[in-house]
Structure formats: C-alpha cells, structure tokens
Chain A
Amino acid sequence: MNEQELHGKLSGAGVAGLGELDTTGPDPFVVVEGSGIRPVLSFLRDDPTCRMEMLHLVTGIEREDRIEVAYHVSSLEHHHSLTLKVVFPRPEAGGHDDWRPGVPSVADIYPAADWHEREQWDLLGIEFEGHPDMRRILLPDEWIGHPLRKDYSYPSEHGGIPLELDAVPMYERGPDWEREEKVRKAKKEERKAGTPLRQPPAPGSDRPHAGGQAPASSKGQRHVIEPHSGDDDDGKSGAH
C-alpha cells in the first residue's frame, strides 16, 4: 500500500483525531491531533492489512511557529511505511524554559519509542506524558536547558569542567583562579555587548589622546582585535 491507501484505510476505520495527508514534499506525511496519536499507532500496528511492526524514529522538529513530533513506522510484512505528525503551535510567549509541549507517550505500544522519547526530552524539551522513565539520556542529569532548541545558549562550563576553547586548564588554576575567571568572563561580556572601546570618545571628554589621534585608536583597536577564536561561536549562538 502507498501512503494514500494507508490514509484512506485510516480514515475508513474512523480513528479519532486523523488529519490530512500532506504530499507537498518528497516524503508525504499524515497530520494527527495530539490525543489521536495513540489510537492511530495502535490501529496501524494491529490491523492485519497495515501491520506496522516497527517504529523507526520519534523526532521533534522546532520551527518558527510550532513544534512538530514525527513518527516513522513501517511494516516488514507488507513493505510499506508511513510518517505521522503531531503539531503544537508555539504559544505567544513561549520561551526556552517555560514551553514544554506535552505529547502522549507511545512507549507501551512500541517499546522502541522509550529511548527515542527520552532523547527528544533531553535534546528538545518535549515532554511525553505517561512515559515510564522520563530522564535525560545523552546529557548528564544535571544539565541545564535543551540544546536543540533554537534559542539555546552554549554553556561555558559544566560542573567545573571547562567547555570553552580558551578556558584555563583545570590543573593550571592558581589559588585565585575564580577571581581571574570572573574578570575574564566580564571582559568577554563586555566585548560581546558592543565593545565600548570601539566607540569614539565622546566630544569634550578628558581622556588622554582624545580626538582620534593615532596612538589612541591603535591602542583601542588592538584591544578589539584581541578576542580569542571562541568568541565567534558565542556570538552566533547568542543570535539564535
């Protein structure tokens, strides 16, 4: 059966929450309402003409205005496959931490979904309701944030482990390392925030060498060019 026939079969069976078949892209998919994903998947698994024995993938996709969860199922017996999608529109003020779309878990229908759902929770912050063991799977338990979200900002360290390119090696940290680190971070923030040094001194200011004279500008510029290479990624990640 191809996707059209499978969709016809599903709508013929009157499964609740079934949406339209989308055939615009290279791979067609069926949109399903959030609560309908469980009955649809159990129907696909148990119906003798569908017999979707295998769940391949559970994927969360974050777009501008919504998060989608895609399910790929396929049948070994009949050699056909289908993609299902659940869509969650982004709420008005949905930020990184306060927006966690909830999807019914299918881990009891397909045990394969167990780890996939945990991974989507870990990386994208999609909560699967009714999952037996909703913990992080790839990242450490105490990790902050969900890295695949577009507004994720990169951490500079995790539990004392430096994660930046220009970080001070752990065994080279002196006794007042923490203070130095604070100064370094403040400097970095300063550079990120538009580098006040780059701005021309205000007219009438009493800075030495004011007025665009060569020594002042070259000194200032050296300070600006200095940023280490790691600065660049932070700039990009901040842009998301």
Chain B
Amino acid sequence: MGILNHALPNIGPVKAVDTAIGWGRKSSIWPMTFGIACCAIEMMAVYAATFDLDRFGAGVPRATPRQSDLIIVPGTVNAKMAVRVKRLYDQMAEPRYVIAMGACVCGGGPYVKWGYNTVKGVHKIIPVDIFVPGCPPRPEALMDGILKLRDQVGRDAVFARREQAGKEMDGRYAAAS
C-alpha cells in the first residue's frame, strides 16, 4: 500500500478508512490454484456448484501466486515439495494469507509417525493464519475456515499502525529467508 503502509496513527478517521478498505478486501480474497493431495479434491468440491465458494468472493482461483492473496495448502507436504511451497509463498505479494487444510498440514496427520520425508505441519515452513483440521476436512469446515479468514482480513489495518506482534513476525520471517 505504498508509502502510507502502517504509517498513520491509530485514530478514528484512519480507522474508518481502514474499515472501508477492509470490507472491500475481505469480499474478494483470491485463492491460488494449488492442489497437492486428497484434500485438494475436497477443495475442488468447495469451488464447485454445490458449495459454491464464490458466494464469499473467494471463488476465483488464480493460476499464479503473483495474483493471489490466499494460499490454501491442501495436502501432505514432503521434503521435495516443501521447497516449492516456500517459494510459492515467497512469490505472493503482501498482504498474503495461508490456510492449512487437513490433518497432514496441521501437524503430520496419518504420516506423522512413519513418514520419513513428510513435513509434520506446513507451519514449519510458512506462517499459517488458519488451521482447518480433518482428514479430509468436510467442505463446510473449509468454508468455515475461509469465513474466519474473512473476519480477520476485515479487521486488518492498512494505513493505521499495526499490532506489534505482526511486525515482529514479519521481521523474523525476513531474517530466516
């Protein structure tokens, strides 16, 4: 958001502008077309007619990370894929959000014990905003996750100064990459 990014004091008029922008942003979260494993099929079911994610403005999957705001990681991430997932995340423009979908990406799932090359949770690789557990999560669960993310996006400040915690986290991520 240019030079004004989080530079203004956290006062009434700035907050009001932020709320208006937040309302716009939360109504058009564009996810990335990205499927890994079984959970991706349930994600496709959410995009399709019966569940229709487009009702919440999130039904326009973009094929490139550079156009998308949200990456849903649907399925087991292994050592070979983790490098790619991280690179995809790095290619996305701020502000970016991550939903971890399924038991595998929330903490290893069925492959936690004997999986010699699975990453036990995608939060080891990229910071995650919403965890949606289940194996696979029902479409309703994923939709609930997206609704929760909408609330979070709507509350996010654009011009006003951000919470300290978020800044710290960005700093840490920059140090690691």
Contacts and interface: CB of A to CB of B under 8 A. Distances in A.
Question: Are chains A and B touching in the complex at the 8 Å CB cutoff?
Answer: yes
Interface of A: 139-140, 143, 147, 152, 154-155, 158-159, 161-165, 167, 169-175, 230, 232-233
Nearest to A164: B120
A139 B124 contact: no
Contacts of B88: none
B79 A140 contact: yes
Contacts of B118: 163
Nearest to B115: A163
Contact of A163 (B113, B117, B123): B117
A216 B118 CA distance: 40
Contacts of B120: 163-165, 167, 230
Interface stretch (B56-64, B155-163, B169-177): B169-177
Contact of A169 (B83, B124, B175, B177): B124
A173 B125 CA distance: 11
B99 interface: no
What size tier do the contact residues of chain B reach?
20 to 34
A152 B114 CA distance: 12
A154 to B, nearest CB: 5
Contacts of A230: 120
Interface of B: 79-80, 82-83, 86, 107-108, 112-114, 116-121, 123-127, 169, 172-173, 175-177
A54 to B, nearest CB: 29
Nearest to A171: B173
A-B pairs with lowest CB-CB distance, top 3: A171-B173, A158-B79, A165-B120
Determine chain A's interface SS by DSSP, over half rule: loop
A20 B114 CA distance: 37
Given A158-B117, A167-B124, A171-B169, 19 more contacts: A139-B79, A139-B117, A140-B79, A140-B80, A158-B79, A161-B79, A161-B119, A161-B125, A163-B120, A165-B107, A169-B124, A169-B127, A170-B125, A170-B126, A171-B172, A171-B177, A173-B172, A174-B172, A233-B113
Contacts of B82: 161
A174 B169 CA distance: 11
Contacts of B125: 161, 169-170
A74 B126 CA distance: 47
Given A161-B125, A165-B108, A170-B125, A152 B79 contact: no
Nearest to B107: A165
A171 B176 CA distance: 5
A147 B127 contact: no
A163 B173 contact: no
Among A159, A169, A172, A232, chain B packs the most CB atoms within 10 A around the CB of: A169
A172 B175 CA distance: 9
